[in-house]
Amino acid sequence: MVRRSRRSADEAKAEILKAAERRLKDGGPEAVRVQLVARDVGLTDAAVHHHFGSREGLMAALLRHCARDLRATLQSDIAGWRGGVPDLARLADLFADFYERRGYARLALWLSLTGVRDKGGGILNDLVDALHAIRVARFQQAGLRAPERADTQYLTALIHTTALGDALLGDAMTRSAGLSPGTAARVGFRRFAIQVFERLLDAPR
Residues 6+ apart with CB under 8 A from 131: 86, 152, 155, 156, 201
Residues 6+ apart with CB under 8 A from 50: none
Mean pLDDT across the stretch 54-75? 95
Q: Are residues 1 and 72 in the same domain?
A: no
Total tally of structural domains belonging to the chain: 2
Mean pLDDT across the stretch 22-40? 96
Q: Are residues 21 and 113 in the same domain?
A: no
Mean pLDDT across the stretch 129-148? 96
Q: Are residues 28 and 92 in the same domain?
A: no
Q: What is the pLDDT of residues 65-98, one digit of tens each?
A: 999 999 999 999 999 998 778 999 999 999 999 9
Picking from 33, 12, 8, 11, the residue whose alpha carbon sits closest to that of residue 22 is 33
Position 76 in a domain? yes
Using CA atoms, how far apart are residues 91 and 128, in angstroms rounded to an integer?
Answer: 13
Residue 2: pLDDT above 60? no
Q: Give SS3 for 113.
A: helix
Q: Look at residue 1 in the predicted model and tell me its pLDDT.
A: 43
Give the CA distances from residue 20 to residues 165, 185, 198, in Å, rounded to whole numbers and listed in that order. Answer: 23, 32, 36
Q: Are residues 71 and 49 in the same domain?
A: no
Q: Are residues 94 and 191 in the same domain?
A: yes
Q: What is the pLDDT of residues 150-189, one digit of tens each?
A: 999 999 999 999 999 999 998 899 999 999 888 899 999 9
The answer to which of 9-18, 77-86, 193-202 has the lowest mean pLDDT is: 77-86
Q: Are residues 28 and 116 in the same domain?
A: no
Q: What is the mean pLDDT of the chain?
A: 92
Q: Are residues 45 and 135 in the same domain?
A: no
Give the CA distances from residue 11 to residues 5, 8, 18, 19, 55, in Å, rounded to whole numbers and listed in that order. Answer: 11, 5, 11, 12, 19
Structural domain of residue 116, as residue ranges? Answer: 67-201
Position 45 in a domain? yes
Residue 126: pLDDT above 80? yes
Residue 118: pLDDT above 90? no
CB distance 182 to 170 below 8 Å = no
Residue 55: pLDDT above 60? yes
DSSP of 51-90 = HHSSHHHHHHHHHHHHHHHHHHHHHHHHHT-BTTB--HHH
Q: Look at residue 134 in the predicted model and tell me its pLDDT.
A: 95
CB distance 96 to 166 below 8 Å = yes
Residue 3: pLDDT above 70? no
User: Which pTM was predicted?
Assistant: 0.88
Q: Are residues 47 and 85 in the same domain?
A: no
Q: Are residues 33 and 106 in the same domain?
A: no
Q: Are residues 4 and 72 in the same domain?
A: no
Q: Are residues 160 and 124 in the same domain?
A: yes
Position 58 in a domain? no
Say how many Å lie between the first and final Cα of the chain, rounded: 67
Q: Look at residue 5 in the predicted model and tell me its pLDDT.
A: 55
CB distance 24 to 62 below 8 Å = yes
Percent of the chain at pLDDT above 70? 96
pLDDT band at 121 (very low <50, low <70, confident <90, very high): confident
Position 62 in a domain? no
Percent of the chain at pLDDT above 90? 84
CATH number for position 31: 1.10.10
- What is the amino acid identity at position 88? L
